[in-house]
Amino acid sequence: MFSYRHAFHAGNHADVLKHAILIHTLDYFNRKDAPYWVIDTHAGAGLYQLDADWSAKNAEHDGGIARLWDKTDLPDLLADYVARIKQYNTDDRLRYYPGSPWLTLDALRDKDRLRLFELHPTESDVLVRNLEKRGRGPLRQTTIYAADGFEGVKSLLPPPTRRGLVLIDPSYEDKRDYRRAFNAVKEGVKRFATGTYAVWYPLVQRVEAGELARQLPHLPVKSWLHATLTVQKPAADGFGLHGSGMFLVNPPWTLHQALKTAMPYLARELAMDDRGGFTLEYRENS
């Protein structure tokens, strides 16, 4: 259903939703002086060349970041996101796309830390090589684990800073990933109740995807936000994703308002047919 190589999908509509939210969340973390950790359970390679073999095969970025590239009326959340991507494309030509580890490193201050898990051996090796090119500062801040992020995250919670973000973004090729993603958040909040958890998941014709979306709001947490973006009607053969969702536990209080303007814009600009749309829900539990 999906390729396990992040490069196949770099910069697509799902990345737009996920990374725009990630950037906003990290900027919010930086409002306070106290240090924090970011733990990424499925890191990928870090940086992708969009005209190279893996990314160019399906050119999914054409339906994602490319549609926003030259827009002059972007809502603030999306303007911040596009500006960050443009930092990697100095000639204003869209050739490179940074994944979540790179976008996180751009936001981190010297005192903050990044912990990356990547189980796929090829991706993990490329991630290490790419990180070495970023220089001594990012190398000092970052630890890479060639291991299962679902299991590895347990040993890192709570982080010593008592501030942190856990990003859970598996491929979901294995249908067990849906249950494992839910359990990772469930177990995480037991260890680190005040942490922020961000779960990305695909909108696909799989029972497990619907179950994950229904179960997450019932976790015993202080607050949560759930956003979904649909770009097309489901395929007749049941393959491929027609959208994606982001579920955040303990989200920044600013995020809901920012998404109120960003989500309608994304639904309009990234729609591939008349089924484009979005949902947005925020809840505070007493």
The answer to whether residue 169 is catalytic is: yes
Contacts of 252 (CB under 8 A, 6+ apart): 24, 25, 28, 29, 196
Active-site residue (options: 169, 177, 237, 274): 169
Of 230, 257, 253, the C-alpha closest to 242 is: 230
Question: Would you please indicate which residues are annotated as catalytic (active-site) residues?
Answer: 169
